[in-house]
Amino acid sequence: MFTGQANPVDGLKLYREKKRTRYLRPEERVRLNAALEEAEQPWSANKDRKNAPPLGRWSHVYAVRLLLLTGFRQSEVLSLEWSWIDRERCIIFLPDSKTGPSPRVISPAVLDLLDEIAANHRRPELNLVLYGRRFQKIHPSSLRHFWGRIRAAAGLEDVHLHDLRHSAASAAIEAGCTLREVGALLGHKKSDTTARYAHLSDDAARRAASRMTDEIARAERKVTPTVRRARKP
């Protein structure tokens, strides 16, 4: 109901949050992978950390590995169910993603990782791919807590979990994927959402152009045709 009083926030400009553009560099991926491998090792195998608390459960490690390989959102990985996986078509169908029902194409490497989980941790009474100690869905705060320890071990203090999604998009563009293909892999409904990676696409195109011209220059240096002078009559 109108009270006749002015709205105190009228005329104020809303703070526009700056979107992060943090991507993992190759050497950072190596450090992160080493930290994840260490987290998987039994504590008795590491004398220096024998009495230290565990970094996390197997499910935390696999959650991060899936985030790295798929570019899925955190909620999509933690909610993942075995019945959503179509192995023959290499598709995971997410019935309730942030943008609604979303089929996502996955790579053989992701299937291998899922096979590894199934062989060692799948329980016939559970449809969840990843689960906690009480066989329930992992809480996001639990994964964030684990990530805090892993990123510290890898020296990646400024990297957030959601940055792994951006890093997957960056890797796809480096591999030659178009923005439209990246949008499909990440489950974007609107092209505007994928457009934030346009500068990466431009950078990749410039590097490809440099490689092309370098190759042409190398070929030209190899072929040095001899110019024959015409004989005088």
Where residue 71 falls (left for φ over 0; alpha for ψ -120 to 50; beta otherwise) is: left
Q: CATH number of the domain at 78, please.
A: 1.10.443.10
Residue 94 CA to residue 101 CA, distance in Å, equals 6
**Residue 131 near residue 110 (C-beta atoms within 8 A):** no
**Cβ partners under 8 Å of residue 219, min gap 6:** none
* pTM to 2 decimal places: 0.78
Residue 225 inside a domain? The answer is no
Residue 54 inside a domain? The answer is yes
Residue 219 inside a domain? The answer is no
Q: Choose the weakest-confidence range: 51-55, 128-132, 148-152.
A: 51-55
Residue 187 CA to residue 193 CA, distance in Å, equals 10
Per-residue pLDDT at 1: 47
Domain span at residue 127?
26-160
Residue 152 inside a domain? The answer is yes
pLDDT digits (tens, 9 = 90+) for 28-50: 999 999 999 989 876 545 555 55
Q: Which residues of 213-233 are buried (b: 16+ CB within 10 A; e: fewer)?
A: eeeeeeeeeeeeeeeeeeeee
pLDDT digits (tens, 9 = 90+) for 131-157: 998 999 999 999 999 999 999 999 999
pLDDT digits (tens, 9 = 90+) for 191-204: 888 988 988 888 88
pLDDT at 226 over 60: no
**Residue 94 near residue 84 (C-beta atoms within 8 A):** yes
pLDDT-derived band at 104 (thresholds 50, 70, 90) equals very high
Q: What is the mean pLDDT of the chain?
A: 85
Residue of 28, 19, 35 whose CA lies nearest to 171: 28
Residue 35 inside a domain? The answer is yes
Per-residue pLDDT at 78: 97
Residue 67 inside a domain? The answer is yes
Residue 207 inside a domain? The answer is no
**Residue 62 near residue 40 (C-beta atoms within 8 A):** no
Residue 200 inside a domain? The answer is no
| Domains contained in the chain, number | 1
